[in-house]
């Protein structure tokens, strides 16, 4: 809830800026100017880096006398925000011998009253002077661990935005609906029977957290470029990246990129998708009971973006050869079952260090795309999780990637003849910044911004789910 509130603040005041939202309240009180933050470059090339505050400051890892930075404090702004989300819909999914039919509506409201915010900013010119000829202690445990990973960069906090008074974040959720064949809901709920004789499920939650003064809600960093001698430089421009020198001018390992077969004239979207085809093939070749269970669990997670983020983090840890944080998984009990299912399917090939497609990397790919999508996009996607609808979506995104029109008379798109289904699919595409239009006997998709990553995420999510969905 705190993470959602800080993201909402930055979406309004710093859309394309350098500020990083604070994701954990527990980390916020110790984050001050020149605190050390670890930047982790991600597994897939489109993913934004993740930032993890550490328990150390720059002076803790310096050799010699400490640096005394000049920090300027100014008023930033007063913030009181409210985000309201109303949604309704229905979904049906064929799963093995059974089926799920869900209909319902709900609303959520997130209200953040951060009040008067202030900004502290380091005098970078003074920091540059103080850093000349200074050396980091390469034997410090934190630095040794970062160097071992080869995917992480050391950064220092340049500025932070913080609260000046006690404030609150409140979230209210009201949901209800009908359900037949429901497969597991991990919430405290109230169940009654409506006048049509169907089970009616409803729940209502209202949660508030109190935030003390001097709580950091956002910050920005400067990356450090560290030589093998321990001397470091400050990376002042966005396109100048930090890292550790290893046996020469080799920097931290970058995220994996993809390429299609040479000699083809294809769009970038199509080339990127072709580079991932091996991952989708792995999903489609899983045993039918594994595909069925995995599809069932992912379908339920589409109504919970927090669970998607937690599982994406856990899968990334496994792909990087690390064990997930068990405390994080405890927040949503169903996550452990999904993780165990994926690990069992992956077998001995349980790490993705070499990018070889496996059940682990393929599932992580799918969850990575879902984690990039908005709540509204996830909601629309959940309403399209039937076999026929997913096959139609697969046909549409394949033609979109190839810059082709789709014939409305194509048998693969027969389900779109239903106006209700067509509206759902149009809404799904729209939520990912793609326009779907009918032109006589053709269906045309138009990506509004070629630089936008959401259409790519939509394609990955659809191809991944279509590889798992059990046939009718």
Assess whether pLDDT exceeds 50 at residue 246.
Answer: yes
Give pLDDT tens digits for 270-299. Answer: 999 999 999 999 999 999 999 999 999 999
Backbone angles phi, psi at 66, to 5 degrees: -70, 160
pLDDT class for 211, splitting at 50, 70, 90? confident
Q: Beta strand 216-226 with 243-244: parallel, antiparallel or unpaired?
A: parallel
Q: How many residues does the chain have?
A: 472
**Backbone dihedral region for residue 72 (phi beyond 0: left; psi -120 to 50: alpha; all else: beta):** beta
**What mean pLDDT value characterizes the chain?**
82
3-state secondary structure of 152: strand
Give pLDDT tens digits for 365-419. Answer: 999 999 999 888 999 999 999 999 999 999 999 999 999 999 988 998 999 999 9
Is 331 exposed, middle or buried, given 0-12, 13-18 or 19+ CB atoms closer than 10 A? exposed
Give pLDDT tens digits for 108-137. Answer: 566 667 888 899 999 999 999 999 999 999
Domain positions in the chain? 2-244, 268-468
Assess whether pLDDT exceeds 90 at residue 197.
Answer: no
pTM attached to this predicted model: 0.73
Report d(CA 411, CA 433) in Å as an integer.
26
Report d(CA 29, CA 244) in Å as an integer.
28
Q: Are 408 and 444 in contact (CB under 8 A)?
A: no
pLDDT, position 423: 95
**Backbone dihedral region for residue 89 (phi beyond 0: left; psi -120 to 50: alpha; all else: beta):** left
Give pLDDT tens digits for 64-76. Answer: 999 999 999 999 8
Backbone angles phi, psi at 182, to 5 degrees: -65, 140
List the beta bridge partners of residue 460: none
Cα 304 to its chain centre, rounded Å, is: 12
Report d(CA 37, CA 242) in Å as an integer.
13
Closest CA to 50 of 22, 29, 92, 17: 22
Up-side HSE of residue 52: CA atoms within 13 Å toward CB? 10
């Amino acid at each position: 809830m705190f993470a959602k509130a800080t993201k909402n603040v930055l979406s309004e005041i710093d859309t394309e800026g350098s500020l990083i939202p604070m994701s954990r309240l527990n980390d916020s009180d110790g984050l001050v100017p020149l605190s050390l933050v670890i930047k982790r470059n991600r597994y897939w090339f489109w993913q934004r880096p993740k930032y993890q505050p550490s328990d150390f400051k720059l002076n803790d890892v310096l050799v010699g006398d400490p640096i005394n930075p000049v920090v300027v404090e100014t008023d930033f702004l007063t913030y009181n925000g409210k985000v309201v989300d109303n949604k309704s819909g229905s979904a049906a999914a064929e799963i093995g011998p059974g089926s799920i039919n869900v209909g319902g509506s709900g609303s959520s409201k997130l209200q953040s009253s951060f009040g008067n915010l202030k900004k502290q900013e380091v005098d970078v010119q003074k920091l540059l002077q103080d850093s000349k000829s200074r050396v980091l202690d390469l034997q410090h445990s934190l630095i040794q661990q970062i160097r071992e990973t080869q995917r992480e960069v050391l950064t220092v906090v340049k500025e932070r935005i913080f609260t000046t008074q006690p404030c609150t974040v409140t979230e209210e959720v009201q949901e209800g609906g009908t359900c037949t064949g429901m497969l597991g809901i991990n919430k405290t709920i109230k169940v009654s029977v409506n006048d049509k004789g169907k089970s009616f499920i409803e729940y209502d939650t209202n949660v508030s957290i109190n935030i003390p003064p001097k709580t950091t809600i956002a910050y920005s960093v400067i990356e450090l470029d560290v030589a093998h001698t321990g001397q470091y430089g400050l990376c002042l421009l966005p396109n100048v990246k930090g890292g550790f020198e290893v046996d020469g001018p080799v920097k931290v390992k970058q995220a994996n990129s993809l390429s299609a077969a040479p000699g083809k004239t294809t769009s970038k979207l199509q080339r990127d998708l072709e580079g991932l085809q091996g991952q989708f093939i792995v999903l489609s070749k899983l045993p039918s009971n594994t595909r069925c269970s995995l599809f069932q669990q992912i379908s339920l997670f589409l109504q919970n973006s927090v669970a998607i983020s937690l599982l994406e983090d856990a899968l990334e840890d496994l792909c990087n050869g690390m064990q997930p944080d068990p405390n994080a998984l405890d927040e949503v009990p169903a996550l452990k079952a999904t993780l165990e299912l994926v690990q069992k399917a992956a077998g001995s090939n349980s790490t993705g260090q070499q990018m070889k497609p496996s059940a682990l990397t393929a599932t992580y790919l799918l969850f990575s795309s879902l984690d990039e999508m908005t709540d509204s996009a996830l909601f629309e996607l959940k309403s399209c999780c039937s076999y026929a609808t997913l096959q139609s979506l697969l046909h549409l995104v394949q033609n979109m990637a190839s810059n082709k029109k789709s014939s409305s008379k194509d048998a693969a798109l027969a389900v779109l003849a239903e106006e209700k289904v067509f509206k759902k699919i149009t809404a799904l595409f729209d939520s990912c910044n793609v326009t779907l239009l009918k032109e006589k006997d053709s269906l045309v998709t138009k990506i509004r911004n070629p630089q936008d990553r959401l259409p790519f995420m939509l394609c990955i999510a659809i191809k991944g789910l279509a590889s798992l969905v059990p046939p009718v």
